[in-house]
Amino acid sequence: MASSLWRLALAAAMCGALLSSSPAAAAAKKTGRITVYWGQTAAEGRLREACGSGLYSTVIISFLTGFGGGRYKLDLAGHDWGAVGPDVKYCQSRKVLVLLSIGGGIGRYSLASKSDAKAVADHLWDFYLGGHSKSRPFGDAVLDGVDFDIELGRPAHYDDLARYLKAYSGRKPGGKKVWLTAAPQCPFPDRMLGEALRTGVFDRVHVQFYNNPACNYRASNVAAFTAAWRKWTSRLPRSSVYLGLPAAAGAANNGYIPPPALVGKVLPIVQRSRNYGGVMLWSRYWDRRTGYSKKIKHAV
């Protein structure tokens, strides 16, 4: 009887070990990670408030709307730049990553050559990351990395920019890495960032499953949504892939998913992927109005 019980226990342990390493078991591990964009309206409150909410693991400051050809423009839509630096340090003290997003849907930016990409990388390093400049917008605060939200212009040389920025890893104070993230559109491959993403240097990819009816989630489009998600996660095995969504119906033209549908129908699909990373929301302003992240965080 004792030996039979021992064999049963051993079999159960072996089965448990197999299950724990299976894709299904991996999918059951929720990340709890929510990334949010901040910076495009003063009505969303300070960066410090976003990080102090306990809702987000990453906050992305948006946007550097102008770059390339030696011209640069930071647009924080009414926010006080002087307050951002201390707030960045506060966020980091709470283990929240803070990145700067370059690009966006409004602005003038492009990379004319490989040397232009190098110049932009150097600018980002000296003005926002671990380098030195007399005119750093956020003072001595050192951001954790850069987000690529490239929606305008031409796709050329963003792969070069990504490699140059990643090469700065280890040169930050304390030898920390430079985090790289991207926000491509859900049709694969993304027209603007496809080549850059093929470098494999991006830590996280926040795929925008909104404003793209072909691959947005809705009851009549589940198969197309699932196929798009699986393509992104399978083609980017070295990156954590996030489900990018609007935090309110008014935050995008289409693609909004009510919290109950997200929790009950969508997250069970995306969490099957080993490199599922969490959820990205546009934006802090809309999330503050709707409380979207509070309603989904337990399931993310």
Each residue's pLDDT tens digit, 45-78: 999 999 999 999 999 999 999 999 999 999 999 8
> What is the token pair recorded at 187?
């049709």
Owner of token pair 């232009």: 116
**Is the confidence at residue 21, as pLDDT, over 50?**
no
Residue 170: per-residue pLDDT: 83
Strands 73-74 and 145-150, how do they pair?
unpaired
Instruction: Retrieve residue 153's tokens.
Output: 């212009």
pLDDT digits (tens, 9 = 90+) for 153-208: 999 999 999 999 999 998 855 678 999 999 999 999 999 999 999 999 999 999 99
Cβ(262)–Cβ(245) below 8 Å:
yes
3-class DSSP assignment, residue 170:
coil
Residues 99, 183: Cα–Cα separation, whole Å: 13
- pLDDT per position as a tens digit, 74-121: 999 989 999 999 999 999 999 999 999 999 999 999 999 999 999 999
Class (C level, CATH) for 34-297? alpha beta
Nearest to 139 by CA among 64, 88, 66, 79: 88
Task: Please state, in angstroms and as integers, the Cα–Cα distance from residue 300 to each residue in 30, 33, 51, 263, following that order.
Answer: 6, 7, 18, 8
Report whether pLDDT(12) > 70: no
DSSP per-residue string spanning 119-164: HHHHHHHHHTSSS--TT-TTTT----EEEEEE-SS--TTHHHHHHH
- Give the active site residues: 151
- Residue 58's pLDDT is 98
pLDDT value of residue 33: 98
- Relative orientation angle of helices 114-127 and 158-166, to the nearest 10 degrees: 40
- Mean pLDDT computed over 229-248: 98
pTM for the complete prediction?
0.90
Asked which of 7-11, 99-103, 224-228, 232-236 is least confident by mean pLDDT, the reply is: 7-11
Q: Is the dihedral of CA 89, 91, 96, 98 positive or negative?
A: negative
Distance, CA of 116 to chain centre = 25
